[in-house]
Each structure stands twice: as C-alpha cells, then as structure tokens.
Structure 1
Amino acid sequence: MKVNVTFDMTPEEFRRLLGLPDVQQFQADVFEQMMEKMKAGEDGYDPMSIYQPMMEKGMSAMTNFQQNLMSMMMAGQSKD
C-alpha cells in the first residue's frame, strides 16, 4: 500500500508547525553588522570571525558523532 500526503503551506507555516525559532531578525542583524564593517574598511576585519563560534560547535558535534561511530565499530570487531 502506498499513501501520499500533500501539505500546502509556506515555509514560515511549516517552521511554526515544527516549533522552530524564527531567526530571520538575527540573520538580518548579523548581515547588517558584517556589511557595516566591510563598508567601513575596518583593518583586520575577517567576515568569518562572526560565524566562527557557530562553525566550531557544528564541527565539534560532527567530530563527536564520528568518534562514536568509530568506537561502536571497534567494539563490534573486538567481540569477534
């Protein structure tokens, strides 16, 4: 049996349905700060410095996931 279900909703409605936070204002603020610094020609300004904390957390989560997978694989091999 195959069942298809179609929902006709906007991305905003879908976000609310899932209970996800609205980050549009945050993204607009971060982008505005980046543009101000770029336009001012601030010496030593690195656009990645704004996103670096978020990227580090994302990468550490991926590293932890990979380490967990590797430890499960190694545990499975040692029992044979």
Structure 2
Amino acid sequence: MKIHLDIDCTPDEARRFLGLPDVAPMQEALMKQVQERMEANLKALEPEALFQTWLPASIQGMEQLQKLFWSQMASGGSGSDGKSEKS
C-alpha cells in the first residue's frame, strides 16, 4: 500500500507545524554584524591605509637609503676613510 501526500505550505508554516524555532531575528543580527565587519575591512583596503600598514618601515628605509646615496654623491663618492678608491 502506497500513500502519496502533497502538502502546499510556506517554509514558515512548515517550521511552525514541526515546532522548530524562528531563527530570523538571529539571522538578522548576525547579518548586521557581518555587514559592519565587511565595511570596516573595506575601509582598511583603501590605498592610503594599505600603504600606511604595509610600508611604513620600508618607506623609512628607502628614505635612509636615499639620504645615504645623496651624502655619498655630495662627498664625491669617497670611501669611509675619505680617500677615493682607484681600480
């Protein structure tokens, strides 16, 4: 013997009929938190913020390297003892 039932109801009606909890408020709160976190992360992805977080030490190192090059050029390329090296 076979029995075939077709039930036409919405998911909300089925949930209430089966006694399952309504998780819509929890989902809304969770989605709000996810949205806030995504917005905060997107702000961190702005080019200026990326350069500030990734390159501060590198930029300072580049500035020091540039100053070293300029000082060497200004002194005529001499070595540390003040005499130019000949090959």
- TM-score of the aligned structures, taking structure 2 as reference length: 0.45
Structure number with greater CO (CA < 8 Å, separation at least 6) is 1
- TM-score of the aligned structures, taking structure 1 as reference length: 0.48
Please state which structure has a larger fraction of its residues in helix: 1
